[in-house]
Amino acid sequence: MELTLTQPDDWHLHLRDGDLLQAVAPHSAKHFGRAIIMPNLKPPITTTAAAVAYRESILKALPADSNFTPLMTLYLTDTTSPNEIKLARRSGVVFAVKLYPAGATTNSQDGVTDLFGKCLPVLEEMVEENMPLLVHGEVTDPDVDVFDREKVFIDTVLQPLIQRLPRLKVVMEHITTMDAVRFVESGEEGFLAATVTPQHLILNRNALFQGGLQPHNYCLPVLKRETHRQAIVSAVTSGSKRFFLGTDSAPHEKQRKECSCGCAGIFNAPVAISLYAKVFEEAGALDKLEAFTSFNGPDFYGLPRNTSKIKLTKASWKVPDSLSFSFGNIIPMFAGETLEWQPCVGEKAEMLNEVQEVGANKG
């Protein structure tokens, strides 16, 4: 059994920088045509000039034969100017602006503290420039339970934002709750959408504790109850255009995960396509997989769909236990486990097509 899909894009990806960038970029470039690149570096990517320079670093980290295209973003701060949005749009390489509430996740300490005050002129300029706002949808109030922070963010930030600026294109990223599903479904198509990760489709919060503390299943937003996972699966496999692929692949060196204060983030780039196929197959919705992986994202962003193809073959393969690099090891999602769908792209996919055509002709 096999599937041929238009090559997917990843609409939420962390590539980091330095040695980590060199290590992980080829894994995403192997399977995806394009990716929206997160700007939460140290220091963050707050200007168009910084985005252009980061893009060059990414391109240099890619294999020589890669056609992967990084789509850059700006990190929204309380001091971002409307003029920076104009520069970003005119650059041709910046495609969105990312909202991190200050303190919400990795390297978010420079994030927004006053969205409706200091940032309002920037948001209004984004409407004029048709520049999407990508949202890490959690409040950071320590009095709000970590499992409730997405719902509270919807009620106190996103709902008022959309009411105030209904023409602002908003992507609620890595949604984790049925509350987020309902919110996205209630909005106007083409102006409100969501990305969904493989971990939030496959794992619930039990995966953090089964057999002991599991640091490689720890991400932000944190995994939620099974009822929430089921709601997200139902939404994604329904065929709705409002949901699209965003891995939130977020690599950290092993020792930064397995320590007394471990980092949040799951490195899923090597397995993401296989896991999405697993979810859609188990839901009886493989016919809707291509729209989720390859159509809904570019359509929302107003970009052309990819013309290249990827082939998924129903063939068992084992995920490596660890990936070793000069600086240390990275543990991929589902390390050491066997997956049932194996992706094949580019020349390999073309060769596979040719072999099948020859076999069919002989038959």
Catalytic residues: 12, 14, 98, 136, 174, 248
Please check whether residue 288 is in contact with residue 239, taking contact to mean a CB–CB distance below 8 angstroms. yes
Please check whether residue 115 is in contact with residue 149, taking contact to mean a CB–CB distance below 8 angstroms. no
Distance CA 211, CA 270 (A): 24
**Token pair of 117, please?**
């005050």
Distance CA 69, CA 111 (A): 26
Select from 166, 165, 164, 115 the least CA-distant residue to 136. Answer: 115
Distance CA 98, CA 110 (A): 12
Distance of CA 234 to the CA centre of its chain: 19
Report CA-CA distances (Å) from 204 to 231, 252, 331, 338. Answer: 12, 21, 19, 19
**3 state SS of 318:** strand
Report CA-CA distances (Å) from 212 to 204, 208, 257, 333, 336. Answer: 15, 8, 14, 17, 17
**3 state SS of 158:** helix
Distance CA 26, CA 109 (A): 29
Residue in the block written with tokens 């850059």: 72
**3 state SS of 220:** coil
What is the end-to-end Cα distance of the chain in Å, rounded?
Answer: 18
Number of H helices, E strands in the chain: 14, 13
Please check whether residue 124 is in contact with residue 164, taking contact to mean a CB–CB distance below 8 angstroms. no
**For 68, which DSSP code?**
-
Distance CA 162, CA 155 (A): 11
**Phi/psi of residue 145, nearest 5 degrees:** -55, 140
